Chains A and B, each alone.
Chain A
Amino acid sequence: MNTSNVNKAILMLALAASCTVQAAENETTDSDRIAAYREMISDGNPAEFDEMRGEELWKTAAGPNQATLEKCDLGKGPGVVKGAYAELPRYFKDTGKVQDLESRLLTCMTTLQGLKEEDISAKPFASEKKASDISSLTTYVVGQSKGIKMAVSVKHPKEKEAYEIGKRIFNYRAGPYDFACSTCHATSGVRIRMQDLPNLSSNKKDAQSAYTSWPAYRVSQGLTRSFQWRLNDCFRQQRFPEPKFASEATVALTMFLAVSANGAKYDGPGLKR
Protein backbone atom coordinates (compact mmCIF):
# COMPACT_ATOMS: atom_id res chain seq x y z
CA MET A 1 0.00 0.00 0.00
CA ASN A 2 1.38 3.37 -1.01
CA THR A 3 0.91 6.02 1.66
CA SER A 4 3.59 8.43 0.48
CA ASN A 5 1.31 11.46 0.38
CA VAL A 6 -1.18 10.39 2.96
CA ASN A 7 -0.22 9.76 6.55
CA LYS A 8 -3.06 7.59 7.54
CA ALA A 9 -5.05 5.80 4.95
CA ILE A 10 -7.19 3.29 6.71
CA LEU A 11 -7.90 0.29 4.60
CA MET A 12 -10.72 -1.88 5.65
CA LEU A 13 -11.94 -4.78 3.63
CA ALA A 14 -15.42 -5.96 4.41
CA LEU A 15 -14.06 -9.48 4.51
CA ALA A 16 -11.63 -8.56 7.23
CA ALA A 17 -14.26 -6.67 9.16
CA SER A 18 -14.57 -9.41 11.73
CA CYS A 19 -11.70 -7.93 13.73
CA THR A 20 -13.78 -4.85 14.54
CA VAL A 21 -16.75 -6.92 15.49
CA GLN A 22 -14.77 -9.29 17.67
CA ALA A 23 -14.16 -6.67 20.34
CA ALA A 24 -17.73 -6.95 21.53
CA GLU A 25 -17.94 -10.67 20.92
CA ASN A 26 -18.36 -11.81 24.49
CA GLU A 27 -21.76 -10.28 25.09
CA THR A 28 -23.17 -10.51 21.59
CA THR A 29 -24.99 -13.30 19.80
CA ASP A 30 -24.39 -14.50 16.27
CA SER A 31 -27.44 -12.55 15.16
CA ASP A 32 -25.99 -9.37 16.66
CA ARG A 33 -22.71 -9.95 14.89
CA ILE A 34 -24.48 -10.56 11.61
CA ALA A 35 -26.46 -7.35 12.14
CA ALA A 36 -23.25 -5.43 12.79
CA TYR A 37 -21.69 -6.91 9.66
CA ARG A 38 -24.74 -5.92 7.62
CA GLU A 39 -24.62 -2.39 9.01
CA MET A 40 -20.96 -2.08 8.11
CA ILE A 41 -21.46 -3.13 4.52
CA SER A 42 -24.89 -1.59 4.04
CA ASP A 43 -23.48 0.80 1.46
CA GLY A 44 -21.75 -2.07 -0.25
CA ASN A 45 -24.68 -4.28 -1.16
CA PRO A 46 -24.00 -5.76 -4.60
CA ALA A 47 -27.78 -5.92 -5.11
CA GLU A 48 -27.30 -2.34 -6.32
CA PHE A 49 -25.80 -3.69 -9.52
CA ASP A 50 -28.95 -5.69 -10.14
CA GLU A 51 -31.02 -2.57 -9.41
CA MET A 52 -28.98 -0.69 -12.01
CA ARG A 53 -29.51 -3.51 -14.50
CA GLY A 54 -33.26 -3.53 -13.77
CA GLU A 55 -33.58 0.23 -14.17
CA GLU A 56 -31.85 0.03 -17.54
CA LEU A 57 -34.25 -2.72 -18.62
CA TRP A 58 -37.24 -0.70 -17.41
CA LYS A 59 -36.21 2.29 -19.52
CA THR A 60 -35.02 0.48 -22.64
CA ALA A 61 -37.37 -0.28 -25.53
CA ALA A 62 -37.65 -4.04 -26.01
CA GLY A 63 -39.79 -6.82 -27.41
CA PRO A 64 -41.72 -6.99 -30.69
CA ASN A 65 -43.41 -3.67 -29.83
CA GLN A 66 -40.07 -1.97 -29.09
CA ALA A 67 -41.63 -0.39 -26.01
CA THR A 68 -40.21 0.47 -22.60
CA LEU A 69 -41.97 -0.36 -19.34
CA GLU A 70 -42.31 3.29 -18.42
CA LYS A 71 -46.08 3.11 -18.93
CA CYS A 72 -46.41 0.00 -16.77
CA ASP A 73 -49.04 0.45 -14.05
CA LEU A 74 -47.86 -1.21 -10.85
CA GLY A 75 -50.96 -0.01 -9.00
CA LYS A 76 -50.17 3.65 -8.43
CA GLY A 77 -50.75 4.74 -12.02
CA PRO A 78 -48.81 4.23 -15.28
CA GLY A 79 -45.08 4.64 -14.76
CA VAL A 80 -45.22 5.19 -11.00
CA VAL A 81 -42.53 3.00 -9.47
CA LYS A 82 -41.89 4.93 -6.25
CA GLY A 83 -43.66 3.18 -3.37
CA ALA A 84 -45.43 0.66 -5.60
CA TYR A 85 -43.88 -2.43 -4.02
CA ALA A 86 -45.00 -1.43 -0.51
CA GLU A 87 -48.62 -1.82 -1.67
CA LEU A 88 -48.26 -5.09 -3.56
CA PRO A 89 -49.90 -7.57 -4.05
CA ARG A 90 -53.15 -5.77 -4.91
CA TYR A 91 -56.25 -6.18 -7.05
CA PHE A 92 -55.96 -4.88 -10.62
CA LYS A 93 -59.11 -3.93 -12.47
CA ASP A 94 -57.69 -4.45 -15.97
CA THR A 95 -56.76 -8.07 -15.37
CA GLY A 96 -59.47 -8.74 -12.75
CA LYS A 97 -56.86 -10.45 -10.62
CA VAL A 98 -54.82 -9.96 -7.50
CA GLN A 99 -51.21 -9.66 -8.65
CA ASP A 100 -47.85 -9.50 -6.95
CA LEU A 101 -44.88 -7.67 -8.45
CA GLU A 102 -43.70 -10.58 -10.60
CA SER A 103 -47.11 -11.38 -12.08
CA ARG A 104 -47.78 -7.69 -12.71
CA LEU A 105 -44.44 -7.26 -14.49
CA LEU A 106 -45.40 -10.25 -16.59
CA THR A 107 -48.62 -8.46 -17.57
CA CYS A 108 -46.70 -5.31 -18.52
CA MET A 109 -44.01 -7.16 -20.46
CA THR A 110 -46.62 -9.07 -22.47
CA THR A 111 -49.09 -6.24 -23.08
CA LEU A 112 -46.69 -3.30 -23.53
CA GLN A 113 -43.65 -4.98 -25.03
CA GLY A 114 -45.39 -7.88 -26.76
CA LEU A 115 -43.11 -10.49 -25.19
CA LYS A 116 -44.39 -14.03 -24.77
CA GLU A 117 -45.32 -15.06 -21.25
CA GLU A 118 -43.80 -18.53 -21.62
CA ASP A 119 -40.48 -17.03 -22.73
CA ILE A 120 -40.32 -14.82 -19.64
CA SER A 121 -41.52 -17.54 -17.24
CA ALA A 122 -38.97 -19.98 -18.65
CA LYS A 123 -36.14 -17.97 -17.09
CA PRO A 124 -37.59 -16.39 -13.96
CA PHE A 125 -34.48 -16.61 -11.78
CA ALA A 126 -30.88 -15.47 -12.12
CA SER A 127 -28.16 -18.08 -12.23
CA GLU A 128 -24.39 -17.94 -12.06
CA LYS A 129 -24.24 -18.11 -15.83
CA LYS A 130 -27.03 -15.77 -16.78
CA ALA A 131 -28.96 -12.87 -15.28
CA SER A 132 -32.77 -12.91 -15.45
CA ASP A 133 -34.50 -9.82 -16.82
CA ILE A 134 -37.68 -10.16 -14.77
CA SER A 135 -35.64 -10.82 -11.64
CA SER A 136 -33.52 -7.68 -12.20
CA LEU A 137 -36.69 -5.68 -12.89
CA THR A 138 -38.10 -6.71 -9.51
CA THR A 139 -34.84 -5.67 -7.83
CA TYR A 140 -35.15 -2.23 -9.41
CA VAL A 141 -38.82 -1.81 -8.48
CA VAL A 142 -38.43 -2.91 -4.84
CA GLY A 143 -35.48 -0.54 -4.41
CA GLN A 144 -37.87 2.32 -5.18
CA SER A 145 -39.86 1.46 -2.04
CA LYS A 146 -36.92 1.50 0.35
CA GLY A 147 -37.91 3.31 3.54
CA ILE A 148 -41.61 3.32 2.66
CA LYS A 149 -44.11 1.71 5.05
CA MET A 150 -45.70 -1.55 3.95
CA ALA A 151 -49.41 -0.90 3.37
CA VAL A 152 -50.95 -3.87 1.57
CA SER A 153 -54.73 -3.70 1.34
CA VAL A 154 -57.22 -6.50 1.93
CA LYS A 155 -60.25 -4.23 1.35
CA HIS A 156 -61.23 -5.64 -2.02
CA PRO A 157 -63.03 -9.03 -1.67
CA LYS A 158 -60.49 -10.61 -4.03
CA GLU A 159 -57.63 -9.28 -1.93
CA LYS A 160 -59.24 -10.66 1.20
CA GLU A 161 -59.74 -13.99 -0.54
CA ALA A 162 -56.12 -14.13 -1.72
CA TYR A 163 -55.00 -13.47 1.86
CA GLU A 164 -57.19 -16.29 3.21
CA ILE A 165 -56.01 -18.71 0.54
CA GLY A 166 -52.39 -17.70 1.20
CA LYS A 167 -52.85 -18.44 4.88
CA ARG A 168 -54.17 -21.90 3.99
CA ILE A 169 -51.26 -22.56 1.63
CA PHE A 170 -48.94 -21.58 4.49
CA ASN A 171 -50.51 -24.31 6.64
CA TYR A 172 -50.88 -26.91 3.84
CA ARG A 173 -49.07 -30.09 4.84
CA ALA A 174 -48.14 -32.53 2.10
CA GLY A 175 -45.30 -34.42 0.45
CA PRO A 176 -43.15 -37.26 1.73
CA TYR A 177 -42.14 -35.27 4.84
CA ASP A 178 -45.62 -33.88 5.73
CA PHE A 179 -44.15 -30.37 5.81
CA ALA A 180 -45.99 -27.06 5.50
CA CYS A 181 -44.45 -23.57 5.66
CA SER A 182 -45.79 -23.55 9.21
CA THR A 183 -43.70 -26.58 10.22
CA CYS A 184 -40.63 -24.33 10.42
CA HIS A 185 -42.14 -20.84 10.49
CA ALA A 186 -44.88 -20.83 13.13
CA THR A 187 -42.79 -20.97 16.32
CA SER A 188 -40.59 -18.20 17.69
CA GLY A 189 -36.96 -18.70 18.64
CA VAL A 190 -36.24 -21.98 16.89
CA ARG A 191 -33.60 -22.84 14.32
CA ILE A 192 -32.63 -25.47 11.74
CA ARG A 193 -29.06 -26.50 12.49
CA MET A 194 -27.56 -23.05 13.22
CA GLN A 195 -29.98 -21.07 11.07
CA ASP A 196 -32.53 -18.97 12.98
CA LEU A 197 -36.05 -19.34 11.63
CA PRO A 198 -38.44 -16.39 11.57
CA ASN A 199 -41.94 -17.06 12.92
CA LEU A 200 -44.02 -15.76 10.03
CA SER A 201 -47.46 -16.62 11.35
CA SER A 202 -47.71 -15.28 14.89
CA ASN A 203 -44.73 -13.00 15.46
CA LYS A 204 -45.26 -9.60 13.85
CA LYS A 205 -41.65 -8.49 14.24
CA ASP A 206 -40.26 -11.65 12.65
CA ALA A 207 -42.78 -11.49 9.81
CA GLN A 208 -41.94 -7.84 9.16
CA SER A 209 -38.16 -8.17 9.18
CA ALA A 210 -38.24 -11.28 7.01
CA TYR A 211 -40.54 -9.86 4.34
CA THR A 212 -38.99 -6.40 4.20
CA SER A 213 -35.46 -7.77 3.66
CA TRP A 214 -36.28 -9.67 0.43
CA PRO A 215 -35.32 -9.62 -2.44
CA ALA A 216 -31.73 -9.89 -1.28
CA TYR A 217 -28.15 -10.39 -2.40
CA ARG A 218 -27.01 -13.80 -1.26
CA VAL A 219 -23.32 -13.53 -0.45
CA SER A 220 -22.90 -17.31 -0.54
CA GLN A 221 -24.33 -17.46 -4.06
CA GLY A 222 -23.07 -14.12 -5.39
CA LEU A 223 -26.53 -13.39 -6.78
CA THR A 224 -29.47 -11.14 -6.07
CA ARG A 225 -32.44 -13.37 -5.34
CA SER A 226 -36.08 -12.40 -5.86
CA PHE A 227 -38.91 -13.02 -3.42
CA GLN A 228 -40.32 -15.66 -5.76
CA TRP A 229 -36.98 -17.43 -5.65
CA ARG A 230 -37.11 -17.37 -1.85
CA LEU A 231 -40.55 -18.99 -1.85
CA ASN A 232 -39.40 -21.59 -4.37
CA ASP A 233 -36.43 -22.55 -2.25
CA CYS A 234 -38.71 -23.03 0.76
CA PHE A 235 -40.94 -25.35 -1.26
CA ARG A 236 -37.86 -27.24 -2.45
CA GLN A 237 -36.81 -27.87 1.14
CA GLN A 238 -40.38 -28.75 2.02
CA ARG A 239 -39.95 -31.59 -0.51
CA PHE A 240 -42.77 -30.10 -2.57
CA PRO A 241 -42.91 -29.98 -6.36
CA GLU A 242 -42.22 -26.60 -7.97
CA PRO A 243 -44.77 -23.80 -7.84
CA LYS A 244 -45.44 -22.31 -11.27
CA PHE A 245 -43.95 -18.83 -11.72
CA ALA A 246 -46.34 -15.96 -10.88
CA SER A 247 -49.18 -18.45 -10.31
CA GLU A 248 -52.24 -17.82 -8.17
CA ALA A 249 -50.72 -20.01 -5.45
CA THR A 250 -47.54 -17.94 -5.13
CA VAL A 251 -49.44 -14.66 -5.36
CA ALA A 252 -51.79 -15.75 -2.56
CA LEU A 253 -48.92 -16.88 -0.34
CA THR A 254 -47.10 -13.61 -1.03
CA MET A 255 -50.30 -11.74 -0.11
CA PHE A 256 -50.45 -13.52 3.25
CA LEU A 257 -46.80 -12.76 4.01
CA ALA A 258 -46.96 -9.16 2.74
CA VAL A 259 -50.01 -8.32 4.85
CA SER A 260 -48.23 -9.79 7.87
CA ALA A 261 -45.44 -7.26 7.25
CA ASN A 262 -47.79 -4.25 7.11
CA GLY A 263 -46.67 -1.26 9.16
CA ALA A 264 -42.95 -1.93 8.81
CA LYS A 265 -40.68 0.12 6.58
CA TYR A 266 -39.64 -1.76 3.48
CA ASP A 267 -35.88 -2.24 3.72
CA GLY A 268 -34.79 -4.15 0.62
CA PRO A 269 -33.06 -5.16 -1.43
CA GLY A 270 -31.41 -6.88 1.50
CA LEU A 271 -28.17 -8.68 2.11
CA LYS A 272 -28.08 -12.29 3.30
CA ARG A 273 -25.43 -14.81 4.20
Chain B
Amino acid sequence: MGKPMKIRAAVKDGVTEVKILMQHEMETGLRKEADGTLVPAWFITEVKAQYQGRTVLEAQFGQSISKNPYLLFHFKGGAAGEKVTVSWVDNKGDTRTDEVAIAA
Protein backbone atom coordinates (compact mmCIF):
# COMPACT_ATOMS: atom_id res chain seq x y z
CA MET B 1 0.00 0.00 0.00
CA GLY B 2 1.23 3.47 -0.84
CA LYS B 3 2.08 6.17 1.64
CA PRO B 4 -0.71 8.41 2.98
CA MET B 5 -1.91 11.52 1.16
CA LYS B 6 -2.65 14.91 2.69
CA ILE B 7 -6.08 16.06 1.61
CA ARG B 8 -7.82 19.31 2.41
CA ALA B 9 -11.35 20.14 1.30
CA ALA B 10 -13.45 23.21 2.04
CA VAL B 11 -16.81 24.41 0.71
CA LYS B 12 -17.53 28.06 -0.02
CA ASP B 13 -20.51 29.55 -1.89
CA GLY B 14 -21.58 26.14 -3.13
CA VAL B 15 -18.18 25.20 -4.56
CA THR B 16 -15.85 22.74 -2.88
CA GLU B 17 -12.11 23.24 -3.24
CA VAL B 18 -10.03 20.08 -2.86
CA LYS B 19 -6.26 20.07 -2.41
CA ILE B 20 -4.44 16.77 -2.62
CA LEU B 21 -0.78 16.20 -1.85
CA MET B 22 0.37 12.71 -2.80
CA GLN B 23 3.48 10.93 -1.61
CA HIS B 24 5.10 9.16 -4.54
CA GLU B 25 8.54 8.86 -6.12
CA MET B 26 7.22 9.38 -9.68
CA GLU B 27 10.25 7.83 -11.36
CA THR B 28 10.24 8.49 -15.09
CA GLY B 29 12.13 5.34 -16.05
CA LEU B 30 14.66 7.51 -17.85
CA ARG B 31 16.84 8.49 -14.90
CA LYS B 32 20.13 6.71 -14.31
CA GLU B 33 22.04 5.94 -11.14
CA ALA B 34 25.60 7.22 -10.79
CA ASP B 35 26.80 3.81 -12.01
CA GLY B 36 24.70 4.03 -15.18
CA THR B 37 21.94 1.58 -14.27
CA LEU B 38 18.47 2.72 -15.24
CA VAL B 39 16.03 3.50 -12.41
CA PRO B 40 12.84 1.63 -13.34
CA ALA B 41 9.71 3.62 -14.12
CA TRP B 42 7.39 3.99 -11.15
CA PHE B 43 4.63 6.53 -11.29
CA ILE B 44 0.97 7.13 -10.57
CA THR B 45 -1.20 6.39 -13.58
CA GLU B 46 -4.67 7.25 -12.35
CA VAL B 47 -6.20 9.51 -9.72
CA LYS B 48 -9.88 9.45 -8.84
CA ALA B 49 -11.82 11.67 -6.43
CA GLN B 50 -15.32 10.76 -5.30
CA TYR B 51 -18.07 12.58 -3.43
CA GLN B 52 -21.14 10.66 -2.26
CA GLY B 53 -20.38 7.87 -4.67
CA ARG B 54 -20.06 10.24 -7.62
CA THR B 55 -16.75 10.61 -9.43
CA VAL B 56 -15.98 14.32 -9.32
CA LEU B 57 -12.51 14.03 -10.82
CA GLU B 58 -10.65 11.43 -12.80
CA ALA B 59 -7.14 12.12 -14.05
CA GLN B 60 -4.50 10.21 -15.96
CA PHE B 61 -0.99 10.85 -14.70
CA GLY B 62 2.30 10.11 -16.40
CA GLN B 63 6.05 10.47 -16.13
CA SER B 64 5.99 14.23 -16.57
CA ILE B 65 4.38 14.81 -13.19
CA SER B 66 6.82 15.71 -10.41
CA LYS B 67 7.69 13.69 -7.32
CA ASN B 68 5.09 14.12 -4.54
CA PRO B 69 2.40 15.52 -6.87
CA TYR B 70 0.04 18.26 -5.76
CA LEU B 71 -3.39 18.60 -7.27
CA LEU B 72 -6.02 21.25 -6.71
CA PHE B 73 -9.52 21.19 -8.16
CA HIS B 74 -13.04 22.51 -7.54
CA PHE B 75 -16.40 20.90 -7.93
CA LYS B 76 -19.92 22.29 -7.68
CA GLY B 77 -21.78 21.27 -4.57
CA GLY B 78 -20.49 19.53 -1.50
CA ALA B 79 -21.57 20.03 2.10
CA ALA B 80 -19.57 20.58 5.26
CA GLY B 81 -18.95 17.34 7.15
CA GLU B 82 -19.47 15.16 4.07
CA LYS B 83 -16.54 13.13 2.84
CA VAL B 84 -14.35 13.33 -0.23
CA THR B 85 -12.47 10.14 -1.09
CA VAL B 86 -9.34 10.16 -3.21
CA SER B 87 -7.49 7.17 -4.57
CA TRP B 88 -4.60 6.59 -6.92
CA VAL B 89 -3.12 3.62 -8.78
CA ASP B 90 0.47 3.41 -9.98
CA ASN B 91 2.10 1.44 -12.81
CA LYS B 92 3.11 -1.33 -10.40
CA GLY B 93 -0.50 -1.80 -9.40
CA ASP B 94 0.03 -0.27 -6.00
CA THR B 95 -2.81 1.84 -4.71
CA ARG B 96 -3.73 4.24 -1.93
CA THR B 97 -7.06 5.61 -0.77
CA ASP B 98 -7.63 8.39 1.76
CA GLU B 99 -10.63 10.46 2.70
CA VAL B 100 -11.31 13.78 4.34
CA ALA B 101 -14.36 15.58 5.70
CA ILE B 102 -15.23 18.83 3.93
CA ALA B 103 -14.64 21.87 6.12
CA ALA B 104 -16.94 24.85 6.11
**Contact surface of A with B, Cβ cutoff 8 Å:** 1-2, 4-15, 41, 43-46, 48-49, 52, 219, 222
> Which of A41, A52, A222 is in CB contact (< 8 Å) with B70?
A41
Q: Given A6-B75, A13-B71, A14-B71, output 12 extra A-B contacts at Cβ < 8 Å.
A: A4-B55, A6-B76, A8-B75, A8-B76, A9-B73, A10-B73, A11-B71, A12-B73, A43-B21, A44-B19, A49-B23, A222-B67
Q: By CB atoms of chain B within 10 A, which of A1, A41, A44, A52 has the most?
A: A44
**Contact surface of B with A, Cβ cutoff 8 Å:** 3-4, 6, 8, 19, 21, 23, 54-59, 64-77
> Which of B3, B8, B56, B59 is in CB contact (< 8 Å) with A43?
B8
The answer to whether A46 and B68 touch (CB under 8 A), given A6-B75, A7-B76, A8-B76, is yes
Q: How far is the CB of A237 from chain B (nearest CB, A)?
A: 21
Residue in chain B with minimal CB distance to A44 = B70
The answer to whether A11 and B57 touch (CB under 8 A), given A44-B19, A44-B72, is yes
> Complex formed: what's the CA distance from A41 to B21 in Å?
10
Q: By CB atoms of chain A within 10 A, which of B65, B66, B72, B74 has the most?
A: B72
Residue in chain A with minimal CB distance to B20 = A44
Q: How far is the CB of A188 from chain B (nearest CB, A)?
A: 32
The answer to whether A49 and B76 touch (CB under 8 A), given A9-B56, A44-B21, is no
Q: How far is the CB of A140 from chain B (nearest CB, A)?
A: 15
